Amino acid sequence: MDYFSSDFKLGILGGGQLGKMLLYETRKWDIHTKVLDPSDEAPCKIASNEFFQGDLMDFDAVYQLGKKVNVLTIEIENVNLDALEKLEDEGLKVYPPTQALRIIQNKAKQKLFYTDNDIPTADFHRFAYKSEIGDSVANGGLTLPFVWKAAQFGYDGQGVKVVRELADLEGLPPGECIAEEMVPFKNELAVIVARSANGEVKTYPVVEMEFHPEANQVEYVICPARIPDHVADRAREIALKVSKKIAHVGLLAVEMFQTQDDRILVNEVAPRPHNSGHYSIEASYTNQFEQHIRALLGLPLGNTDSKVAGIMVNLVGSEGHTGDVVYENMETIMGLDGVTPHIYGKKQTRPFRKMGHVTIVDKDIDRAREVAQQVKETIKVISR
């Protein structure tokens, strides 16, 4: 099939920043796109060929978009799966396939999938209702502390809470959830696996998330991870196993914990471009967004190696600021070597909202890390 400057249509469910960065690549190749998103101010609006406003969980909205395209993909997991399944039954190429999304959309199902397939993951209990947790603690089935996770619709840490005493459960949603063993990890790592519609597979290098020592917030994504080779090899091996078992097409980002004794436990996966791969736009031979499109269309996968060390700093809304966004000190950070800011185009900031990111590249990873710190300390996302 001819994709370039042709009648071919790629559909994308979700019009946020991941979609926007995917569209830089479809524009590069003149591939026609149709995007569905609930927000009239979605970041994708400016770069898609056609934009449709609609609810991603609504059967008709998703089904109607699917009927207008040749291949359908996602940039967010929370979409109507019954519509995707019907489209697939009718012959549409839906990547990732619905069966992969069914496993991933529900964290309890995802965890069961790991245990069923002999993939190392933290121990957990599943509960149909939050109210069942108290009894389980009382009869000794579950011990405190643990990590509560909503089975569905958690995003960017919002469906996750460390529970040290039962009172910590107050105010959390009442529905299906898991209680997971707390892992005192040494590092959080991630590996992106690309799997093409033709079955070709490649992995990106292992990246490391560096945390703020007190705030327990990811501050930097660092590529390559500063870990021993044998740990990196094991992480890639496990990511490949998850990818094979889940049988996705496109990218799969596999988030993992490196334990104190250097075991690897899979935390969760995302079947799409991922925050942990943003560094690749500046640092890799083939960035993750181009790679996702290559994979969906069954084109040869590109080289996943890095040209230089890359570090990403997320730009999130500062605390105490809600309203029209202002990026303070942009010129200062752009004066530093190897610094590229990405602004997603959300007009309104609020505390911790992901508004953009900054990539820092350098041949020397230690130098990149120093500049990343300068960027972090200089730029501010505030309201007018």
How many angstroms separate the CA atoms of 174 and 270, rounded? Answer: 25
Residues in contact with ligand ADP, shown as a per-residue x/- string from 125 to 154 under the rule CB under 6 A: ----------------------x-x----x
Using the rule CB under 6 A, is 316 a contact of ligand ADP? no
Report the residue from 188, 208, 282, 290 that binds ligand ADP according to the rule CB under 6 A: 188
Q: Helix (H) and strand (E) counts for the chain?
A: 11, 21
Using the rule CB under 6 A, is 157 a contact of ligand ADP? yes
Query: Which of 377, 341, 383 minimizes the C-alpha distance to 359?
Result: 341
Using the rule CB under 6 A, is 172 a contact of ligand ADP? no
Query: Which of 239, 270, 268 minimizes the C-alpha distance to 101?
Result: 270
- Comparing CB distances to ligand ADP, the nearer of 76 and 92 is 76
Residues in contact with ligand ADP, shown as a per-residue x/- string from 239 to 258 under the rule CB under 6 A: ----------------x---
Q: Which 9-68 residues touch ligand ADP, going by CB under 6 A?
A: none
How many angstroms separate the CA atoms of 349 and 384, rounded? Answer: 10
- Comparing CB distances to ligand ADP, the nearer of 49 and 259 is 259
Report the residue from 103, 183, 242, 249 that binds ligand ADP according to the rule CB under 6 A: 183
Q: Are strands 218-223 and 187-195 parallel, antiparallel or unpaired?
A: unpaired
Using the rule CB under 6 A, is 210 a contact of ligand ADP? no
Stretch that binds ligand ADP, among 86-94, 95-103, 174-182, 366-374 (CB under 6 A): 174-182
Query: Which of 306, 316, 326, 303 minimizes the C-alpha distance to 358?
Result: 316
Using the rule CB under 6 A, is 362 a contact of ligand ADP? no
Q: HSE-up of 112 (CA within 13 Å, CB side)? A: 13
Q: HSE-up of 99 (CA within 13 Å, CB side)? A: 9
- Comparing CB distances to ligand ADP, the nearer of 25 and 255 is 255
By beta-carbon distance, which residue lies closest to ligand ADP?
183
- Comparing CB distances to ligand ADP, the nearer of 255 and 362 is 255
Backbone dihedral angles phi then psi of residue 333, each to the nearest 5 degrees = -70, -30
Using the rule CB under 6 A, is 77 a contact of ligand ADP? no
Measured CA to CA in angstroms, residue 201 lies from 92, 149, 198, 275 at distances of 22, 31, 9, 20
Residue type, 64: Q
Q: How many residues does the chain have?
A: 384
- Comparing CB distances to ligand ADP, the nearer of 180 and 290 is 180
Stretch that binds ligand ADP, among 14-22, 182-190, 282-290, 327-335 (CB under 6 A): 182-190
How many angstroms separate the CA atoms of 192 and 273, rounded? Answer: 8
Using the rule CB under 6 A, is 224 a contact of ligand ADP? no
- For the record, the structure tokens of 157 come out as 């840490």
- Comparing CB distances to ligand ADP, the nearer of 86 and 125 is 125
Using the rule CB under 6 A, is 173 a contact of ligand ADP? no
| Least Cβ distance, residue 240 to ligand ADP (angstroms) | 20
Query: Which of 275, 265, 43 minimizes the C-alpha distance to 156?
Result: 275
- Comparing CB distances to ligand ADP, the nearer of 144 and 326 is 144
- Comparing CB distances to ligand ADP, the nearer of 180 and 208 is 180
- Comparing CB distances to ligand ADP, the nearer of 184 and 300 is 184
Report the residue from 76, 112, 137, 182 that binds ligand ADP according to the rule CB under 6 A: 182
Residues paired with 360 in a beta bridge: 311, 339
Residue type, 252: L
| Least Cβ distance, residue 64 to ligand ADP (angstroms) | 29
How many angstroms separate the CA atoms of 208 and 264, rounded? Answer: 13
How many angstroms separate the CA atoms of 111 and 358, rounded? Answer: 32
How many angstroms separate the CA atoms of 193 and 277, rounded? Answer: 11
* Contact residues for ligand ADP, defined by CB under 6 A: 122, 147, 149, 154-157, 159-160, 180-183, 188, 255, 267-268
